[in-house]
Amino acid sequence: MNRVRAGWGLVGCLALALGVLVGCTLGPGQAFATLVPGTLEATLSLPAGRLEDGAWKTSNGYLVRLEDGLGVTAGKLALLAPGSAAKAGSGETFDPAKPPAGYSLCHNGHCHRADGALVDYADIAAELASGGAASAPREVVTFAPQPKSAQPVAPGGQASWTLGEASPGLLLDRGSVSQTRWNVGFEARGQVTPEAGTASLSGGARTFRFQLAPADLSFIGRTPAMIDRTESAYYILSGMLRLSVRAFDGLDWARLAAAQPEGVLDLTADAASKETLLANLAQSDWQPTLKAAAAAP
């Protein structure tokens, strides 16, 4: 009997030793840190110059009144790593005097992108380091934020979400992560009126609506971190989206109203209007954070 007990004891010790050895030889594919879900927030702050009689003033002379704020639908959130083709980087070093393809007129800390956007030196350098814009990032962990239904964000207000279920899980492999992408949908219903003297609208005041699915628009922000044993064991992932005050700028309300003399103006059904809305909302400021922590919060 004692021999049997001694034998089991030996097996136990061997198993323990084996476990320790395995633990000391974790390689790629093993968990090296734990992701801690934080919160997502969206805010809408309109400066005084954008408000007139409680309405949202546009750059082209219209006043927009939303019935229930700007509806924000939280789609998939993904923590990204540089794609496999981009791991080695493009080999190109950022030099403002010789900007990479697609950029020009680099000065005062920013370059002009071909589409007119101003991009910081740091963002271009990071893009080059990760292999350039053509490389496809790899999803490391994805979340399904809750609630799923659109949350109204009125001027001066905000909405928040929990990150929801993680796929495949919260354990992070060894390697680098670089960005966080959030797919966001938008919808609203309201009334638009022209300002006297500078804008016109058939009917004077018109009701409108639009709905953009989360698949239509994604925001990508930098969350660089090296996941290995020398760094922190926990990373808290959160994000803040400051909605663009230019959401309704440049919409050709007069053309829409003339083409549709009666009823609700559906901006989503009009290709040019949908494109303008997407371009405007894409200017929202997305600031994700991946904050390191030594212990579980």
Partner 1 sequence: MQATRWFLTFALGGALAACATPGAQPSAVPSPVPSASPSAAPAANDSEGCEHMLEGPAVAVKAAAKGALAEAPKVGEDHHRYDIALGGTAGKYEGTVRLESAEAADHTVYLSKNVPFAVRDAKGAVAFKSQLVGASSCSAISARYVVPLGVGVYFLDFGPASEQNVSVVVEGAEEAHDD
Contacts to partner 1 by CB under 8 A: 47-50, 57-61, 96-97, 104-105, 107-108, 112, 116, 118, 195-200, 246, 249-250
- CB-wise, 89 or 250, nearer to partner 1? 250
- CA 140 from chain centre, in angstroms, equals 15
- CB-wise, 61 or 157, nearer to partner 1? 61
Least distance in angstroms from the C-beta of 69 to partner 1: 20
- CB-wise, 59 or 93, nearer to partner 1? 59
Least distance in angstroms from the C-beta of 287 to partner 1: 20
- CB-wise, 25 or 198, nearer to partner 1? 198
Least distance in angstroms from the C-beta of 60 to partner 1: 5
Least distance in angstroms from the C-beta of 103 to partner 1: 12
Q: Which residue, chain included where needed, has tokens 């109204």?
A: 152
Least distance in angstroms from the C-beta of 281 to partner 1: 14
Continuous segment of H or E residues that includes residue 17: helix 2-24
Q: Which residues contact residue 264 at a Cβ distance below 8 angstroms, ignoring those fewer than 6 apart?
A: 189, 206, 207, 208, 209
Short-list 154, 143, 148, CA closest to 236: 143
Q: What is the CA radius of gyration of the chain?
A: 25
- CB-wise, 27 or 197, nearer to partner 1? 197
DSSP strands (E only) in the chain:
31-43, 51-52, 55-57, 62-66, 70-81, 103-107, 110-113, 118-120, 138-146, 151-153, 158-167, 171-173, 175-194, 206-212, 218-227, 234-242, 265-266, 285-293
